[in-house]
Structure 1
Amino acid sequence: MKKLLVALLLVGLLSVSMAQKWPAQLRFVSGPSGGTWFALGGTLAGMWSETVIPMTSGTGGGTANILTISRAQADIGLTTLSVFNAAVKGIDPFKEPVKGTVLFANLYRQYAYFIMRKDYATKNGIKTLGDVIKKKLPIRFATLTPGTASEFVIRLLFEKGYGVSWSDIKSWGGRVEFASYTDGANLLCDNHLDMFAFQISRVASVIMDIESRIEVVILPVDDEAIQKLAEYLGTTKFFIEPGIYKSVTQPVQTVGDYTCLVIRQDLPEDLVYKLAEALWNRKEQIAKAFTDMAELNPREAISEGVPAHPGAVNFWSKQK
């Protein structure tokens, strides 16, 4: 009996010891100040502070957040699945495979939009993005600034999917610029651009703003290019469905990605489980402020082929 009591005492002490391994607080890294990710990061950090563990939130970026977490300078943060795949594989801009950062959850879908002035598309007989490359048009083109997930995916789609670089477009007499969502939209509407491309969620006010000012077409991405990028970067194929944008009257296929959360690999499994549980329980509340969060679901939360935290895998697998 004495041995049993000692064993139970040791188990109890071990449990206390394990609980004490939780850090005093966690650090969340989001996006640039004023952006959607920055606001979402503050909301998530506040929610987790109320329900699980104290958490601070600060600025960041899709690429930087992965590295910051891997160096234990932050604990959880936002990025995209494509950028995280690149980090795991050590694909540029990462010098080598990144260790110590793993997937927590895919939050919502990201779509690559190639928005072209309708007058330009009609004049040049453009039906798909591939037509621009085949015709080697001297196109005035813009995407978001280098270092963003948008520029990363759009550039690699051209390079790996179509075998074309920014330099090639310039050699045709075209122009490649980098702009914010607002500046790019204005340049397109003022006829200083022929096409503006970026990656964003399913419902995007910037696209609605463009459509309210000029007639545009949203170009489909060719199957072969989507497949080549998927093999290289782990992206997928999504369809931009009718009903959101007036320029879309039938499904438009494009490159699919996810906004996701990544987390420190060495955080306790029970802590990460609790974080996932709290996120799922507060999903509807968060989605009132961030509509795209309504897309969070267990079936898509964890992607195959990338390292994920066992605490997160454990939770999401139980919800399917």
Structure 2
Amino acid sequence: MKKFIIFLLTLTCVFTASVVAADTPSQLRFMAGPPGGNWFALGGALAELWSQKTIPTTSITGGAVANIINADKGKGDLGFSNTSMVAVAQKGGMAPFKDAVGNASILANLYTQYTYFIARKDFVEKNDIKSLDDLVARKIPTRFATLKTGTGSEFIVNGIFKSGFGVDYRETLKEWGGSVEYASYSGGADLIADNHLDVFAFSVGKVASIVMQIESQTDIVILGMEQNTLDKIGADYGTVTFTVDPGIYKSVTDTPVKVVGDYTCIVVRSDLDEQVVYDLCKTMYENQDTLAKAVVDMKELNPATAVPTAPIKSHPGAVKYWDEVAAK
């Protein structure tokens, strides 16, 4: 009798597990971004599209760090983040992810993010600066600004200094006789144009109107980095090397500038049903033109780059779909 009861309990557990694994949620919670930004607009467009063609989806506000944590804990199903953040979160051991997340993976890399270090041209010429590496190696006093802490921009700027150069910019730049401020995109643009800053660093899309705005107000130089520095950062944060080619900005005239490259991505809880994730990817890609009307950067969505390189983990349902499309 005891063996029979154990058998029934085991059978019940197996059956329950199979039911849970095969369960399809009736509604999804998509974690976007704060009101007014691209993520907020695109989040609403995605939720509407998926609700019409795949599964009812509600868009809620969120943030790059919080969306990873909430996906991992099941407080949301999927949302926007940066691929570098997901890489650090999956690895753990670095703030703000001291402990590795086990239930958050990538649904897709959506569009590129370039990290620009914009320097006033008179500052560069006065100090004969060749690159960001040169500025750091020579400990040049710099009036510096980036976006506020907790943003994707500040996260990767902090990572660039820590991983690439072994310094904490928040303290080190002050020790060298410089200063550190936190500003919005428009606020930082005004500060550097008015000669209150020497360098303004932030992440944004490939062709950025904010860079063009600064160029229209003052002469600038986009500071590049050495390849070995970019490789160090990539090893820790999963970033890649992008080049800013001549012709995009008037400040880049002849030689391409190497910068840290990242992606805006969608992070998804790893235990979400594989077929659901496959269908979400399919609907999104087949309606790419519609989504690009909400945020033009969605034109960059490409099956060849939708799955980040190892060791960054992507959801199996996403890998299945993007591999199928890329092979056609």
TM-score (normalised: structure 2): 0.90
Root-mean-square deviation (CA, aligned residues, Å) is 1.5
- For 2:317, the equivalent position in structure 1 comes to 311
Tell me the residue number matched to 1:206. Answer: 210
Which amino acid in 1 is paired with 2:286?
N
Aligned-pair CA distance for 1:135: 2.1
Q: Match of 1:140? A: 143
| Counterpart for residue 276 of structure 1 | 281
Deviation (angstroms), 1:20: 8.1
Q: Deviations over 1:229-276 (max 9, x none)?
A: 111111110101222211111311011111100111111111111111
Secondary structure, in 3 states, of the residue corresponding to 2:69?
helix
Q: Deviations over 1:57-93 (max 9, x none)?
A: 1111111100011111111100001000010011211
Opposite residue 201 of structure 2, the aligned amino acid is A
1:288: Cα distance to partner? Answer: 3.0
* Alpha-carbon distance in structure 2 between the residues aligned to 1:298 and 1:66: 22
Determine which of 74, 77, 86 is the counterpart of 2:76. Answer: 74
Offset at residue 95 of structure 1 (A) = 2.0
Distance (Å, rounded) in 2 between the aligned partners of 1:280 and 1:100: 24
Q: Which residue of 2 aligns with 1:88?
A: 90
The number of aligned residues is 304
Aligned partner of 1:238 among 233, 239, 242: 242
* Cα offsets for 1:162-188 (capped at 9, x unmatched): 122221111111101111111111111
Equivalent in 166, 173, 196 of residue 169 of structure 1? 173
Instruction: Name the residue aligned to 2:66.
Output: 64
Corresponding letter in the other structure for 1:24:
S
Distance 2:188 2:66 in 1: 24
2:131 corresponding residue in structure 1: 128
For 1:19 and 1:221, how far apart are their aligned partners in 2?
Answer: 46
- Aligned residue for 1:289, secondary structure, equals coil
Question: Deviation digits for residues 278-309 of structure 1, max 9, x if unmatched?
Answer: 01100122123322111111111111212211
Instruction: Find 2:306's aligned residue among 286, 296, 301.
Output: 301
Q: CA deviation at 1:207?
A: 0.9
What secondary structure, in the 3-state scheme, does the structure 2 residue paired with 1:60 have?
coil
2:292 — aligned with what?
287
Q: Which runs of 5+ in 2 are unaligned?
A: 1-18
| Structure 1 residue 21 displacement after superposition | 2.3
Q: Is the 8 A contact 2:152 2:203 kept in 1?
A: yes
CA deviations on 1:201-221 (whole Å, 9 max, x unpaired) are: 102111111111111111111
**Percent identity of the aligned residues?**
49
User: Could you tell me which amino acid in structure 2 is paired with residue 292 of structure 1?
Assistant: D
1:117 aligns with 2:120: yes
Which residue in 1 is equivalent to 2:155? 152
Structure 1 position 19, deviation (Å): 11
Which stretches of structure 1, 4 residues or more, deviate above 6 A after TM superposition? Answer: 17-20
What does residue 108 of structure 1 align with?
111
Q: Which residue pairs with 1:44 in the alignment?
A: 46
Q: Distance in 1 between matches of 2:175 and 2:22?
A: 61
More deviation, 155-164/63-72: 155-164
**Matched residue type, 2:273:** P
Superposed displacement of residue 116, structure 1: 0.5
* Correspondence 1:261 to 2:263: no
Cα distance between partner residues in 2 of 1:137 and 1:206: 26
